[in-house]
Amino acid sequence: MTSVTKKKLMTTLKAYLFLAPFLALFILMVIYPIGLGAKLSLYGQRGARMWYVGFDNYFRIFQDKKFWEAFKIPAFLLFVQVPLMLLLATIVSLMFETRKRSGSVFRFIYYLPYCIPGIVAGIVWSYIFSDSMSPLKPLLQFFGYQGEKLLTRPNVPLILLIIILWEFTGYTAFVIYSSLISIPREYSEAAQLDGAGFWQIAFKIKIPLLKDVLITLFIFNAIGAIQVFNEPWMLGGLVVLPNNYTPAMYIYSSAFSQGRFTYAAAMGMILACVTFVFSLWVLRTAAKQLLGSKS
Amino acid sequence: MKRILVGILILLLLSSCASATDYYPEYTGEPVTLTMWAWTSNENYSIEEFEKVYPNIKVIWEDFGVHYDKAQTALAAGSGLPDVLMIEYSFAPQFMDLGAFQPINKWLDEETFVKLYGEASLGLCSMDGEIYGTPQDSGANALFYRKDIFDKYGLKVPTTWDEYAEQARKLKAAAPDLEFAAPPIGYALVWVGMIWGAGGKLFDYHDGNWYIDFTNPIAEEFFEFWGELFDEGILDLQMWWNPDWYSSLNEGKTATVIVGSWFGEWLRYNAPESAGQWRVAVPPFIRKGEEHNGMIGGSGFYVTSHCKNPEAAAIFVNWLNSHPDSLRCLHRYSNLPIMVSTRYEEILDEIAGPDEFFGGQNIVEELWHAHELVNTTFVALPIWSNMDSALSLLLQDYVDGKIQRFADILPVWEKQVIETMEEFGYTNLIVGELP
């Protein structure tokens, strides 16, 4: 009896030993900053002076139109870019599956953009859309488009869409592909025998089985959309974007260029809550749907 | 009697000592190492010279580029600022107001400061009678122009704003593809600096109050002037400091730029393909006879509140920015065209001469003249970054057609600035007048 509990204890200890490097960094770099941020958000601050204000910062944020307006771009990305990307990625992954041999080359090519840091991609893309260097301009002029600027403020959401699709579609397709190949081949073979075509098998059999991974990917990308920063920040060098273009940009400029760190900390907490509640909601409703479809 | 005599003698000796040590007192404290953040290139040559004179003070120089975000963070954290911080004059009040600096009046009194840097510089480095640092380079407005474009289209270097508009129209008619000038979308330094050059200002600080008046006659006249050129499509606004702008300067698509004197250094490094084409001139005056100038940028070196040895830091910033040995290095290695210190005049003859990048023009002489015309000063608002982004958005709105008349920007900008001041808790505002 005691030896069993001892064994159990040893296993747990071992597990924690292996987890230790991660846990130490996780506590130091994630948990501790969150705690510190939560504490800071309860203070007023000017320069090095700080004083306790309770929930004043939060009350002010709820009345701060600039903060809530900043969610326009994340909402656009959430409802347009993320679904579009999942659709594209699914199609691409189905294509990967049909090319068993040469597939690895395509997978490599599609995966490459993901290896480029967002900031670098932002710089390169801002050149691509810039007025004087854009390689697209001669192309557009060839098709009769006359010299208007590409990178204007109204065009920025569209440009963001292109950049982010370029960055993450390949990676997402890669993830979907990896669970696609784990689907037992008997299913599609059986369907084939019953006379189902390629797209029928894809939409009726494979995609429903991919639901779990698609939901996970949706949540990951939704979090990315809500916290989008790098790409609009880089474009901001070529076209004037308001400092509240996205919530993360507003938080950054409040803290670092205006020196309102505690207010920014409070906004950070709210942004984290928004992200968390949204993810939870998606998981809950999605889980219900999954249960519904199983029964 | 003897005692009194001795006393008088000692007093005499002391006073003569004070004048003999002149501006650079001896450092008698413990050996110390100072840290400094600055983005001037090759600052190390001046530091080497300084360490020869003051062997007990070592200076470690770090260059993070424009480090305002980093400095704000260190300031809020309560530790981590270096001993000496380079800050642009317009951003300095923001940092003064946040308590980032400490006064150095004990080691550099107002009289000495005025002797070394001139009366007009007080507004750049001090507030409420406290001196926080010393000014390095001059941001005196200058007109940078492309000689090749001017020659090709027979343009004349304008000396008044009317002539400036005339030349702009002339170039537009002759070469619609070229820009006579492309003032910045945003970058409030330029707009505030040009109004300053016309003898005006938008704000100031005096006796504990902040004064704000964006719609004063000079500012309005000035915005009307630009508005006419933009509304008629003679000139376009452009966003600065990005690849589009760099290439337009490099390839000769823009004929003139009005900006601070330090731009001479910037052009040399960032538009190498345009070598030999640029010239400089004193910028146009608002009217004939009204000859004064303002500044766009330029930076001071301030002693921070985190500095443990302000005496050494004060000695250093004063020596760095006024001693001829240092100024010589700053000119030769850092390529700063004009330094603020009055002692720059002592080495002017020695360093002034033909400059190859500027087609052999003696730019130091021309820019020194532009600098000497700066005869007014004021304290910038302590919310420069907010003021700057407010203007950027309004100018972008104008470019996008959301604001019809250019001059309408001023009152809206003023309103937003006042709102921000109030939001940040400044109750000592006086709106609609200037001291």
The tokens of A98 are what? 């049909």
**Facing A240 at nearest CB: one of B73, B75, B185:** B185
Domains of chain B plus CATH, in order, are 27-138+298-351 (3.40.190.10), 141-295+377-431 (3.40.190.10)
Residues paired with residue A43 on neighbouring β-strands, in sequence order: A52
Cβ atoms B130, B251 nearer than 8 A = no
Alpha-carbon distance A74 to A223, whole Å? 9
B230-288 pLDDT, tens digit each: 998 999 999 898 888 888 898 889 999 999 999 998 898 888 889 999 999 999 998 88
- For residue A239, which residues of chain B lie inside 8 Å, CB to CB? 239, 396
**Number of residues that make up chain B:** 435
Q: List all residues 6 or more positions away from A30 whose beta carbon is below 8 Å from its beta carbon.
A: none
Question: Which chain A positions have a beta carbon within 8 Å of B241's beta carbon?
Answer: 237
Of B98, B244, B400, nearest to A259 by CB-CB distance is B98
Cβ contacts below 8 Å, chain A against chain B, sum to 76
Q: Check residue A50 and report its DSSP letter.
A: E
Which of A127, A133, A240 has its CB closest to that of B186? A240
Angle at the Cα of B371 (from B212 to B213), degrees rounded to 5?
Answer: 10
Which residues of chain B from 100 to 119 reach within 8 Å of chain A, CB to CB? 100
What does the H/E/C string look like for chain B? CHHHHHHHHHHHHHHHHHHHCCCCCCCCCCCEEEEEECCCCCCHHHHHHHHHHCCCEEEEEECCCCCHHHHHHHHHHCCCCCCEEEEECCCHHHHHHCCCECCCCCCCCHHHHHHHHCHHHHHHHEECCEECEEECECCEEEEEEEHHHHHHCCCCCCCEHHHHHHHHHHHHHHCCCCEEECCECCCHHHHHHHHHHCCCCCEEEECCEEEECCCCHHHHHHHHHHHHHHHCCCCCCECCCCHHHHHHHHCCCEEEEEEECCHHHHHHHHCHHHCCCEEEECCCECCCCCCCECECCCEEEEEECCCCCHHHHHHHHHHHHHCHHHHHHHHHCCCCCCECCCCHHHHHHHHCCCEHHHCCECHHHHHHHHHHCECCCCCCCCCHHHHHHHHHHHHHHHHCCCCCCHHHHHHHHHHHHHHHHHHCCCCCEEECCCC
Q: Tokens standing for B24?
A: 């650079």
Domains of chain A as residue ranges with CATH:
71-243 (1.10.3720.10)
The structure tokens 């600039």 sit at: A66
Calculate how close chain A gets to B243, using CA atoms only, in Å: 7
Q: What is the pLDDT of residues A203-228, one digit of tens each?
A: 888 888 888 899 889 999 999 999 99
pLDDT of residue A122: 85
Tokens representing residue B251 in the block: 């390839």
Q: ipTM exceeding 0.90?
A: no
- Amino acid identity of B215? T
Q: Give the mean model confidence (pLDDT) for residues B336-346.
A: 92
Task: Choose, out of B73, B389, B402, B422, the residue to mutate when testing the contact with A (most A CBs < 10 Å).
Answer: B389
Q: Provide the mean pLDDT of chain A.
A: 87
Interface of B with A in 222-251 (CB under 8 A): 239, 241-244, 247-248
Q: Which two tokens stand for residue B430?
A: 């006086």
Contacts of B69 in chain A (CB under 8 A): 256-257
Distance, CA of B123 to CA of B320 (rounded, Å): 19
What per-residue confidence (pLDDT) applies to B283? 95
pLDDT, mean of each 10-residue run, chain A (295 residues): 80 91 93 93 86 92 91 94 94 84 83 89 87 80 74 89 93 92 87 86 86 90 92 87 92 87 94 92 77 47
**Quick one: closest CA in A to B71, which residue?**
A256
**pLDDT tens, residue by residue, B145-184:** 999 999 999 999 999 999 999 999 999 999 998 999 999 9
The minimum CA-CA distance between B177 and chain A, rounded to whole Å, is 12
For residue range A36-63, what is the model confidence (pLDDT) as tens digits?
Answer: 999 999 998 887 788 899 999 999 999 9
Q: Does A240 touch chain B (CB under 8 A)?
A: yes
pLDDT of B6 reads 56
